[in-house]
Amino acid sequence: MSVIRVIIVEDSDDDMLLVLRALKKGGYEPVHIRVETREELQKALRDDNWQIIISDHAMPKFSAPEALKVLKESGRDIPFIIVSGTIGEDVAVEAMKTGAHDYIMKDNLVRLAPAVERELRDAEVRREHKRYEEQLEFLSLHDQLTGLYNRIYFENELKRLEGGREYPVMIISADLDGLKLINNTLGQKEGDRVLKICAELLGSLLRKGDILARVGGDEFVALIPRAIDIEGDRLVSAVRDKVEDYNQHNNNNFPINISLGYAVSYDQTQSLEETLKHANNNMLLDKQNRSESTCNQVVNALLAALSERDYIANGHADRLQELCLKVGKRVGLDKQRLTALSLFAQVHDLGKVGIPDSILFKNGSLTDEEWKIMRQHPEKGYRIAQASPDLAHIADLILRHHEKWNGKGYPLGLKEEEIPLECRILSIVDAYDAMTNDRPYRKAKTREEAVAELKACAGAQFDPKLVKVFLEIL
């Protein structure tokens, strides 16, 4: 039997028992409460678990029309069925017009259970439809990723507040720095995660009635009416402190960097559109002033992530750096190029931070699709380096470090001396170090086996003259 929670509006014990019996005969196990007054029904409706109301039409202290008013005032959508022994057809029709879903004569209670089943089903359809409409309304005014208001809602609120009585109005413009770099290297999933965190950090310091909207890919705006007791500098500083605290306590995650600017309209003499422009301009000034340190922080976080994935750790970068410098000095590179070569040896695989672990550490050969993904890492590294003032001068080297002497490398297919000398040096040193150290897919080779491999690939994969120089150094 199906359990049903029912409110019975009835003053007669006998009539209530008849209703309960009819429900049981119809396959229901009723859990019920009986009410006889307006106040009792109001109290019962505070419980959201009641599924249906079955009411007598007329009682000394209460009636079905009055009960319908109470139900309407509560805002609840609960099926309402009238059960009466005296109701006439005209009265029944009027009751249906005012909100009753069905009426049943007490001498025909066999109709009750089927009516209940139908009305419960219809009520669920109505609730589902309402949920769907609410979801559509929410999506039309909210950003689907962060749950914040969207640009449409923000612009409507800006118009509503324009010339109103809620001055002063403060506007804070915020921009999540480095989102494009995050998406390009770590993927959109990581970018989405950082956007959500940014939204939470910004929203945590606003009042309940303030409006925070995501108005672009990495752009947020806070609209703060009645900002009488709010100091913009102090609020912006509080946001910065919140971001810094987050970064300090989440070392394993990508650092959050937010550029901020604000402006205030104190009365109708300055339009809110102008105020928004001033806030945006102040945010852009903040971004320019912080751009270098922000870029370095982003790149350092990527380098740290790379280190954790064993591409800088375990002495790999140090060994490359040492051997590359020895070769560079032997072939006569000047001090400036040697410095660049040293840095290049450390960070050439920076783009691998954007390659899934399932590919980087796969035991066995990569599939064609996996190789396609793996071969993207020079371009990913190039984009990261371009974004950093400290790495921009070696970005072209990072892009070209997988080119081969015979032109069969990637991503540009350069050959011979079209390939920068630094890349040709690194190619040999990196191959030797890879062969003489364990990798996820194979054990290390002996020094003699690695040397033989370099000789065999000289003139194809490697610059033959540089192979000779390298072997002399070994």
**Higher-scoring residue by pLDDT: 40, 312:** 40
- The most confident of the ranges 129-138, 322-331, 361-370 is 322-331
Cα(197)–Cα(182) distance, integer angstroms:
14
d(CA 216, CA 33): 53
For 370-379, what is the mean pLDDT? 93
Residue listed under structure tokens 């359809």? 125
CA angle 269–272–278, rounded 5-degree value: 100
Q: Give the pLDDT mean for 123-138.
A: 86
Provide mean pLDDT across the span 312-338.
87
- Determine the average pLDDT of the residues in 286-299: 73
pLDDT higher than threshold 60 for residue 217: yes
Residue 331: C-alpha distances to residues 44, 284, 319, 424, 436 (Å): 90, 46, 19, 12, 24
Task: Tell me the pTM.
Answer: 0.64
- 141 versus 1: the higher-pLDDT residue is 141
CATH fold, domain 309-473, is Hypothetical protein af1432 (1.10.3210)
442 pLDDT above the threshold of 80: no
* Predicted local confidence at residue 294, as pLDDT: 67
Would you say domain 2-139 falls under CATH 1.10.10.60?
no
Query: Cα dist. 304→301, 353, 354 in Å?
Result: 5, 9, 13
Whether the bond between 168 and the residue before it is cis, its omega within 30 degrees of 0, is yes
How do residues 64-109 score in pLDDT, each as one tens digit? 999 999 999 999 999 999 998 876 777 777 878 888 999 999 889 9
| CATH architecture of the domain covering 151-301 | 2-Layer Sandwich (3.30)
What pLDDT is attached to residue 312? 47
pLDDT at 308: 64
Helices 377-386 and 179-186, packing angle to 10 deg: 160
Positions of E strands within 177-224 = 211-214, 219-224
Quick: pLDDT tens for 5-20.
999 999 999 999 999 9
Q: Where are the domains of the chain?
A: 2-139, 151-301, 309-473
Task: Dump pLDDT digits (tens) for 403-422.
Answer: 999 999 999 999 999 999 99
Q: How far is 156 from 433, CA to CA, in rounded Å?
A: 61
Q: Is residue 151 within 8 Å of residue 213, measured between CB atoms? A: yes
Q: How far apart are the first and last CA of the chain?
A: 85
Whether the link from the prior residue into 411 is cis, omega within 30° of 0, is yes
* Span 128-135, average pLDDT: 85
Q: Find the range with the poorest average confidence among 15-19, 249-253, 460-464.
A: 249-253
Whole-number pLDDT of residue 19: 95
User: Average model confidence (pLDDT) for the chain?
Assistant: 90
Q: In whole angstroms, how large is the CA radius of gyration of the chain? A: 36
d(CA 220, CA 260): 10
Q: What Å distances lie between residue 434 and 256, 440, 454, 469, CA to CA?
A: 34, 11, 12, 19
Q: How confident is the model at residue 333 (pLDDT cuts 50, 70, 90)?
A: very high
* Average pLDDT value for residue range 156-176: 95
Query: Residue 30, SS3?
Result: strand
